[in-house]
Amino acid sequence: MSKILLISGSPTSPSRSALLLDYAASYLKKHGLEVTSISVRDFPAEDLIQAKYDSPAFTGFKEKLTEVSGLVVATPIYKASYTGSLKALLDILPQTALRGKAILPLATGGSPAHLLAIDYAIKPLLAVLGASDIQQGVYVVDSQFEYTETGFTLDPELQKRFDESLERLAITVKALDR
Ligand SMILES: Cc1cc2nc3c(=O)[nH]c(=O)nc-3n(C[C@H](O)[C@H](O)[C@H](O)COP(=O)(O)O)c2cc1C
């Protein structure tokens, strides 16, 4: 079974971007992928801030990365870019850690003003780690989230685009494993 890793870059909880990942996890599982999820919150802050590359706290993460063919990377927009904690986590990886992997970036922001952060900030960050198959990302503005008792809803057009992105990723990851 093809494997995929979901990375949450939000340092806070609850988190809208993490909710998008929860949705992605159930969608991708339903479409036959084995999903593992991690968050920047799972790692000791000191190890992240001090870039302790050899910390045992990162061993499982690095191993998991070698096993998957695809990732979904979600981040809130902080100061027009990805969060510092996501950057700190990716900084501990070797230069080619994302080579050969298909990646879907997701971002949530307080305003549409930083919609292009996926293209000018997040994609270059993933590319420098060797990723070449970076899919068109999905950007959700806070006002587009409608909280419900069981989670959230998005407006139908946005939900459709999100589902299509996940479907494309699932197809790509399976093709990479063939
Ligand atoms: C420190 C900080 C900086 C932020 N900077 C921006 C920003 O530059 N542009 C923007 O659109 N939203 C900005 N926001 C709003 C968040 O991106 C937005 O609320 C997001 O959905 C939060 O995601 P989360 O719930 O997953 O943490 C900022 C929020 C915080 C806490």
Rounded mean pLDDT for each run of 10 residues along the chain, 178 residues in total = 97 97 98 98 98 96 97 98 98 97 98 98 98 96 93 94 98 96
Q: What is the pLDDT of residue 18?
A: 97
CB distance 70 to ligand 1 below 6 Å: no
Q: What is the pLDDT of residue 134?
A: 98
User: How many separate domains does the chain show?
Assistant: 1
Query: 134 is in which domain, residue-wise?
Result: 3-177
Q: What is the pLDDT of residue 6?
A: 98
CB distance 108 to ligand 1 below 6 Å: yes
| Angle 17-169-66 from CA coordinates, rounded to 5° | 85
- Which DSSP symbol is given to 66? H
> Between 156-177 and 16-30, two packed helices, what is the crossing angle to 10 degrees?
50
CB distance 94 to ligand 1 below 6 Å: no
Q: What is the pLDDT of residue 151?
A: 87
**pLDDT tens track for 78-88:** 999 999 999 99
Q: What is the pLDDT of residue 132?
A: 86
**pLDDT tens track for 137-163:** 999 999 999 999 888 999 999 999 999
pTM higher than 0.95: yes
Nearest residue CA, atom 24 of ligand 1?
15
Q: What is the pLDDT of residue 55?
A: 97
CB distance 18 to ligand 1 below 6 Å: yes
Q: What is the pLDDT of residue 167?
A: 98
CATH code, domain carrying 42: 3.40.50.360
Cα 46 to averaged position of ligand 1 atoms, centre (Å): 23
Q: What is the largest CA-CA distance in the chain?
A: 45
Q: What is the pLDDT of residue 72?
A: 98
State the burial class of residue 168 (Cβ atoms within 10 Å of its Cβ: 0-12, 13-18, 19+).
middle
Q: In whole angstroms, how far apart are CA 52 and each of 7, 62, 69, 88?
A: 19, 13, 26, 10
Query: How far is the C-alpha of 22 from the C-alpha of 166, rounded, in Å?
Result: 12
Write a three-state SS string for 67-134: HCCEEEEEEECECCECCHHHHHHHHCCCCCCCCCCEEEEEEEECCHHHCCHHHHHHHHHHHCCCCCEE
